[in-house]
Amino acid sequence: MKSKRPKRLIVGVSGASGMPYALRLLQSIPEEYEIYLIASSGAQRICKSETGIELNRSSLTNHLPEIRNENINFLSNDDFFTPVASGSFHTDGMVVIPCSMKTLSGIANGYTQTLIERAADVTLKEKRKLILVVRETPFNTIHLKNMLQAAEAGAIILPASPGFYANPKSLDDIVDFIAARTLDALQISQSLFHGWKEV
C-alpha cells in the first residue's frame, strides 16, 4: 500500500524589509508540515539587522524555541541540485515572505537565477499555490507590471500592508495580521487573527 506523502511547504525569504513576518509565519506553520526554507543572502543580512535573528538552525533554536526546527530543511539559494527545483517533487505550495521587487521580477519574468526564483517558477508551472508577500513603497510601474504578470501566471499577490480595523494594540498584532492572511491564502488553518467582526 502506498504511504501518504507528508505535507510540504516551501518558504522563500528574500531581501526586503519585513523579516518579523517571515519569523511569525515559521512559528505558525502546523507541525504536520515539512518546511523547505530558502533565504537569499540579502534576507540573511536584513533579518539579522531587523530582528537580531539569523535564518539558520542554531539561531532560530536559540531565539524562537517554539519553531519546530526539526521540520525545517535549510536550503541554499544558489543550490539547484535539490528536490524543490523540480516539479516531480510534490509540494502543497510556496510563499515568498517578504518578497523583494528583485525576486518578484525574477518570478514574473521566468528568470530563475536563484533557488527561490526557480522553486517559484516550478510552483507556477505545476499550478500549485504561490503567495508573494511583496514589500516596497511606493511602487513604480515596473513593480506594478511585474505583480500583474505574476498574478496572471497564477500567483497571489499579498502586499505586506496590515489592516487596522481590528484595532491592533502592538507591533505583534500587526505582524500577526500579515502572517495570518498569508496562512489563509495558503489555506492553512491559523489562530493568529480571525478577520473582521461586527461589533
Ligand X SMILES: Cc1cc2nc3c(=O)[nH]c(=O)nc-3n(C[C@H](O)[C@H](O)[C@H](O)COP(=O)(O)O)c2cc1C
Interacting residue ranges for ligand X, rule: CB under 6 A = 14-17, 40, 42-43, 46, 100-103, 114, 135-136
DSSP 8-state code for residue 2: P
Residue nearest to ligand X (CB): 15
Residue (126 or 136) nearer to ligand X, CB: 136
Beta strands of the chain (E only): which ranges? 7-13, 33-39, 72-76, 94-99, 130-134, 156-157
Q: At closest approach, how far in Å is the CB of 4 from ligand X? A: 34
Residue (16 or 94) nearer to ligand X, CB: 16
Q: At closest approach, how far in Å is the CB of 98 from ligand X? A: 7
β pairing state of 130-134 and 7-13: unpaired
Q: At closest approach, how far in Å is the CB of 165 from ligand X? A: 24
Residue (46 or 174) nearer to ligand X, CB: 46
Q: At closest approach, how far in Å is the CB of 37 from ligand X? A: 14
**Secondary structure of 62-95 in the HEC alphabet?**
HHCCCCCHHHEEEEECCCCCCHHHCCCCCCCCEE
